[in-house]
Amino acid sequence: MYRLIEKLIKPQLEKWLKSYIDTYFTEYMFQGFFDERIKKVILTQYLIFGDSQRLTLSSTCVVNNALFNLSSGNISVGDYVFFGHNVSLITGTHNYTKFGLERMQDFPDEGNDIFIDEGTWVASNVTIIGPCKIGKHCVIAAGSVVKGDIPSYHIVAGIPAKTIKEIESQFQYSDSHLNEGQQ
């Protein structure tokens, strides 16, 4: 009898519960509570390897499910920086001349810092290997591997990431452009 009840009632109960939770969660989001309660930082299942005190995230960044490896340096993410999914920031490295357990345990404590300046977009599946400084308002294309500094206002792509375009830092609109379509 128990199995029959479990077979008939459990799926319906689970379906109702999921629907109720989804509805409540959606209503909660649309009431604007998240902005006030989390200070506009959206951190969804990110992972920290190493000392979390070495990670500095702006209150306006979006990191999604990034991996932060802090074993050999600090990581700083600036204002309005946003990540796609599966982004990895790696400060750790190992001594390839060692073997076995000795190789696993031999890594520097510092020197591989990563700094990402304001407004940068790091697309999905990007790996950033320290030390490096990424300038303001850069775009790092999906799947790229960054192994060095990137100047501000640059688009980079590839393995290793190389500049493919420079972004104009200022946009000037004429009055005719602003009034376009208002006749």
pLDDT of 12-28, one tens digit each?
766 665 665 555 554 55
Over the stretch 45-82, which tens digit does the pLDDT of each residue have? 788 888 999 999 999 999 999 999 999 999 999 999 99
Over the stretch 117-140, which tens digit does the pLDDT of each residue have? 999 999 999 999 999 999 999 999
- Joined together, the tokens standing for residue 65 give 């499910």
Higher per-residue pLDDT: 35 or 93: 93
What pTM did the predictor assign?
A: 0.69
What span, in angstroms and rounded, lies between the C-alpha atoms of 140 and 15?
41
* Mean model confidence pLDDT for the chain: 81
What residues form DSSP beta bridges with 88? 67, 127
Q: What is the pLDDT of residue 45?
A: 76
Which residues make Cβ contacts (< 8 Å) with residue 139, sequence separation at least 6? 120, 121, 123, 154, 155, 156, 167
CATH fold of 38-166 reads UDP N-Acetylglucosamine Acyltransferase; domain 1 (2.160.10)
What span, in angstroms and rounded, lies between the C-alpha atoms of 125 and 91?
17
Q: What is the pLDDT of residue 140?
A: 98
Question: Does residue 173 carry a pLDDT above 60?
Answer: no
Over the stretch 102-112, which tens digit does the pLDDT of each residue have? 988 888 888 89
List the catalytic residues: 94
Domain ranges of the chain: 1-36, 38-166
